[in-house]
Structure formats: C-alpha cells, structure tokens
Amino acid sequence: MPNLIEITREGRVALVRLNRPAQLNALNLALAEELVAATEALAADRSVGAMVLTGSDKAFAAGADIAEMADKSAEDMVERDFFAIWDRFAAARIPKIAAVNGYALGGGCEVVMMCDFAIAGEGARFGQPEVRLGVIAGMGGTQRMTRLIGRSLAMDLHLTGRTMRADEALRAGLVARVVPDAEVVSTAMAAAAEIAAHSRAAVRLAREAVAKAEELPLGEGVRYERALFHRLFGTKDQREGMAAFLEKRPARFHEPDEAAERGA
C-alpha cells in the first residue's frame, strides 16, 4: 500500500504532500493518522523550521472520505470521537502553510484553516458543503471559519454549501495570498524558508500569541503577549538578533534555549 503522504525536505523546510490522487485526497482515518504522526515528528525535529502542506493540481483535499463514514451510527461516531485526531494536527507547534490548488472542500477546507495561513492558486475553490449531505462540519469548520471571515459569510457558506473562488477567499481573509496556480508550492516554500530562518523560539511564541488573540479579550491578550515578549529576553537568539541589528549584519541564530520554550 503506498504512503498516503509524501515528505521531501529543502533545507529547514518540509514539504508534505497528500497522496490519494484517485480519491482527490479525501481524508480518511489512515491518512489522518499518517499526517498527524508526521507533523508531530517534524515539530519535534530541531532541524525543521516550518512545513508546507499541499495536495495535487486538482485537489488540495476534496473533503473527508464519505465512504468511510456513510454507514456509521451516532454511537459509532461518539465512541470513536470521530475527527478528534485532527485536534493534534492543529495543535502541533510547527509553522504550517497550506499550499492550495484545486478543491479544498469540507474537511479539506477545515485542514486549510488549521494551518497558520494559506497560499492559494487562482483556480482554487473553497467550501463547506456538508449540509448537502445532511450533516455539518465536524473538524472545526464552523468555529474557525467564523473567526476568520465573520459570522455572515460563514453562515452563507455553511448553510448554502456553495463554493468560494480564490479571489473571494482572499478578500474574506480565508487565505493570505493568491498566486498563479503553477507558483503555489514554490511561493509557499519560499515563505516557509523565510520563517524557518528566524529564531525558533520567537516563531513559536509569535504563533502562540496570535492564536490567543482569538480566545482572549484585548487587555488579557496584550498582557499575554507582553509576558511572551519578556520571556524571549532569556534566549541566545534575542541577544544575537539585537546584536546583529546594531552591528548591521545578518543574524546567525543559535539553537533556542530549551528553558525559554518549555511550556510555551
């Protein structure tokens, strides 16, 4: 049986490609388990600074695998806590960029939103069509989409099941950039390489601070950010980065101090 994901490395960046082309990269449990295990391993590898997740030219992922779910009962779904494994992908402490060509529908769109940001091709299409199957999103789609693009547009997509073009997704804030289809992966890899060149500790805490903005009131969020800012003054990377700025030279970041990242 072929691997359901393929991983290649370019310097400090890992390119992870979903590999179920005949099924338009439909997300079954086996793929989820393989992707989550790989993502957690990459997050623990200090030689990796960021990852890019992509699919094929036709589909990033056209949704969850309906054939795997169609005959399940409510008891089956509750007993297995179906889709809970994706919480581990979202929580993995590695910068994740989605590079999207083709369809990112249902679970595929939800995985895009679990990444830190997305770069889409001009031909990409996004949507949450679960209502057409008599169900709703189950991997966080209603929650993440509402936070990203607002209540009204999220309601539109979840209640109608319509598909959103890449230009609309960009205006709405669902994706960060739209580029020609042929440049999606290379653009995402370049962005990931830029991230991976920065201080590992600073990148991790920046991700954490931005994520907390969705959960905390402004005053609490500012205090949380400030505490992380203060913590970074215990790292070698802070000393190197500021010294390099003052000396007008590129920073040469060290491996981060484990003490500074512990608990972050």
**Would you state the structure tokens that stand for residue 180, as one six-digit string?**
């020609």
Q: Which residues contact 81 (CB under 8 A, 6 or more apart)?
A: none
Q: Which residues contact 161 (CB under 8 A, 6 or more apart)?
A: 127, 128, 129, 130, 131, 132
Nearest CA to 118 among 50, 169, 160, 155?
169
How many Cβ atoms are within 10 Å of 182's Cβ, its own excluded?
12
Q: Which residues contact 92 (CB under 8 A, 6 or more apart)?
A: 36, 39, 40, 42, 43
The Cα–Cα gap between 52 and 101 comes to 13
Point out the residues that are catalytic: 64, 107, 110, 130
The sheet with strand 103-105 has its strands ordered as 59-61, 103-105, 125-127, 163-165
Q: Which region holds residue 262: left if phi is over 0, alpha if psi is between -120 and 50, else beta?
A: beta
**Would you state the structure tokens that stand for residue 221, as one six-digit string?**
């969020």
